[in-house]
Structure 1
Amino acid sequence: MSTLARASRLRIPLSRAFVALLGVAILFNGSYWSRAGLMFGDLLTSLGLVLIGVATVGRLWCNLYIVGYKNRELLTTGPYSTSRNPLYFFSSIGAVGVGCMSESLIITAVIALMFAITYPSVILAEERRLADLHGDAWTRYVATVPRFWPKFSQLDEPEQYTMYPRQFRRHLSDALWFGWAAAILLLIETLHDGGWLPVWWHAM
């Protein structure tokens, strides 16, 4: 098994372990900025909500195109005409948004760093698989569409597109979990403010 394939396989258990540790850190972390009497924490929360909103809409947009077609056809329209990995792009925005809503620059940086370390190998492994599946069509696609950062100027959307509503509904949770994370973070903040949940540290 190649290094990229092993990294792809390890992504899920490592991601779950990371999320669990991060959850504990956030659960008992109070706002450093509120404690210092600064409004910067509120600005981070607002920015986080905006980023999570963008990520949620973006992931729904991607799922509209990919659900029912993944591993069957090479997607080259909609979000996939601007980036070869738009789902990962919008996920990165959502992950940073979650970090911002923790009101901690340290936690935000850790999340961004974890994403930057973990996902390049996953993306490379998936692209090798797609190259094997689609051959010359993949080669032509790679020549014009960037790997990660979208090039919205070359957005190509059809007037009509066949979607699979039952499968799309089953994948809604994949797109909406950033919104749920935002709700949980707001609840944690409320519990901290009410003294119902202890604060053990204040990460800047």
Structure 2
Amino acid sequence: MPDRGDGPPRYRTLGADLDLSHFQRLRRGVLAALLAAAFLALAVVGSSHGQAVHELIEQVGFALMVVGIAGRIWCTFYIGGRKSAEIVDAGPYSMTRNPLYLFSTVAAAGVGAQTGSVILALAFAAGCALAFQPVIRREERHLARLFGAPYQAYLDRVPRFVPNVCAYRDRPEMTIRTDRVYRTLTDGLVFLAAIPLFEGIELLQAGGYLPIRLLLP
């Protein structure tokens, strides 16, 4: 099978776009599977906190979801339509190689917090971060084949996941793909669906329709 790096730039970009679209579908699939599994499991789990603390945790979780969605949109300003054409190393990508996954993890913590449990919020974040690791490694191998030594230098300079805020750098101007921004916003709204879903679960639990098997702080 010919190397996608061979041939005219137009064909290299087309092949790279096809590969990256696979990773994007895989990323969405991972998120969907995590959310579905979480909702099924949490139907029988409740919070051990009182009402005031429970509500506070939910509000903090909502803030985390907003930060996660806004952060994903911020990333799309820089990476949208460029990932297969150049090494993006400005803005959020100057601090971490995978800010989209980082902000998705923040939003996942917010989803878990809608249960009123700090433990579940942390578990959601940890599960999301761990589930993304195989996808991240596959993307890195693909981009290393595509860009070679310059991408290896980027790997050596910028951390994979935990951001180095001191390394932040920006570019004076850039072109924003609005279609990618709208798509990212639409994808991010899935996180907010956790609010009515978990409220519905709580109502069913309060009415005795869903028995609570486990209480978590």
TM-score, length-normalised on structure 2? 0.75
Q: Does residue 1:31 correspond to 2:47, yes or no?
A: yes
Residue segments in structure 1 that go unaligned for 5+ positions in a row: 1-7
Contact 1:11 1:118 in 2 (8 A): no
Taking the aligned partners of 1:27 and 1:111, their CA distance within structure 2 comes to 15
Whether the 8 Å CA contact 1:56–1:179 is kept in 2: the answer is: no
8 Å CA contact 2:64, 2:107 repeated in 1: yes
* Residue among 155, 172, 175 paired with 2:188: 175
CA RMSD of aligned residues (A): 2.8
Structure 1, residues 86-135: CA drift from partner, whole Å, max 9, x if none?
Answer: 01111111111111121134533442342243222221111111111111
**Counterpart residue number, 1:203:** 215
Q: CA, structure 1 residues 170+112, in 2 after alignment: closer, same or farther (shift >3 Å)? A: closer
Q: Identity of counterpart residues, as a percentage?
A: 34
Say whether 1:22 aligns with 2:35.
no
Please say if 1:137 is aligned against 2:146: no
1:154 aligns with: 167
C-alpha distance in 2, partners of 1:133/1:183?
43
Q: Aligned AA for 2:192?
A: G
Which residue, out of 34, 38, 62, partners 2:75?
62
Q: CA deviation at 1:198?
A: 2.9
Distance 1:29 1:63, change over 3 A: same
State the distance in 2 between where 1:51 and 1:70 align: 26
Give how far 1:178 is off: 2.1
> CA 1:53–1:17 in 2, change beyond 3 Å: closer, same or farther?
closer
Counterpart-to-counterpart distance in 1, 2:62 and 2:189: 13
How far does the alpha carbon of each residue in 1:21-56 deviate from its partner, in whole angstroms, 9 at most, with x for none?
31123345443323xxx6332232122122112111
Q: What is the 5 A alignment of 1:73-112?
A: 73-112=86-125
**Do the aligned partners of 1:51 and 1:96 also contact (CA within 8 Å) in 2?**
yes
Q: Distance in 2 between matches of 1:175 and 1:20?
A: 15
Tell me the TM-score normalised to structure 1 length: 0.79
User: 1:60 and 1:10 mapped to 2: Cα distance?
Assistant: 19
In structure 1, how many angstroms separate the alpha carbons of the residues matched to 2:72 and 2:129?
Answer: 19
Instruction: Find the counterpart in structure 2 of residue 120 from structure 1.
Output: 133
Contact 2:77–2:181, Cα closer than 8 Å, also in 1? yes
Count of residues paired in the alignment: 192
Structure having greater relative contact order (Cα 8 Å, sep ≥ 6):
1
CA distance in 2, matches of 1:114, 1:166: 30
Deviates more, 1:178-187 or 1:130-139: 178-187
Seen in structure 2, the aligned counterparts of structure 1 residues 42 and 170 have a Cα distance that, compared at 3 Å, is closer
